[in-house]
Amino acid sequence: MHITQGTFSFLPDLTRAQVAAQVQYCLEQGWAVSVEHTDDPHPRNTYWEMWGPPMFDLRDAAGVMGEIDACRAAFPGEYVRVNAFDSTRGWETVRLSFIVQRPEKEEGFRLTRQEGAGRMQRYGFSYRAADTAR
């Protein structure tokens, strides 16, 4: 199942040159770019593992691309995304976030059931690969 989270997620995966161009755009806007990875892309899992601190005061995408490559090499089977944080007053939030790596086979989600009070059923879902890892 193709995970659709963040910008560009309905498009085919971006090539390295396209990622570099997007990162360069972020840097030109003065946003701080950071790299994150996770093995659990559940939509409620907002906080992925950080790959190093956010990068401030960069001028060229080459520096970020180096970190993205290092993160992908270290976690080849995980999701990797790039966040761009805008610190200007009034925004103070992530302005752009997109996935730059997916595992080769995306496992998708499974339905989970939970017995509640009075035999009530609660439903949820969890990422399959994350399940098997535990």
Partner 1 sequence: MLNASVSATTAALPATQAEGGLDLGALFSRSEVPKILEELERDLVGLKPVKRRIREIAAHLVVGRAREELGLTSGAPTLHMAFTGNPGTGKTTVALRMAQILHGLGYVRRGHLVSVTRDDLVGQYIGHTAPKTKEILKKAMGGVLFIDEAYYLYRPENERDYGQEAIEILLQVMENQRDDLVVILAGYKDRMDRFFSSNPGFRSRIAHHIDFPDYEDDELVAIARSMAEEADYTFSPEAEAALAHYVALRRSQPNFANARSIRNAFDRMRLRQSLRLFEAPGPVDRAALSTITEQDVRASRVFAGGIDAPPRAADDNR
Which residue ranges make up the site for partner 1 (CB under 8 A)?
52, 55, 57-64, 66-67
The token duo for 53 is 């601190």
**Closest of 122, 124, 106 to residue 114, by C-alpha:** 122
Nearest distance from residue 64's CB to partner 1, in Å?
A: 8
In this complex, which beta carbon is closest to partner 1, that of residue 14 or of residue 55? Answer: 55
Which three-class secondary structure state does DSSP give residue 14? coil
Nearest distance from residue 58's CB to partner 1, in Å?
A: 6
In this complex, which beta carbon is closest to partner 1, that of residue 3 or of residue 26? Answer: 26
Nearest distance from residue 100's CB to partner 1, in Å?
A: 17
In this complex, which beta carbon is closest to partner 1, that of residue 61 or of residue 84? Answer: 61
How much is the CA Rg of the chain, to the nearest whole Å? 17
The token duo for 132 is 């098997």
In this complex, which beta carbon is closest to partner 1, that of residue 3 or of residue 64? Answer: 64
Residues 6+ apart with CB under 8 A from 127: 39, 40, 41, 42, 107, 108, 109
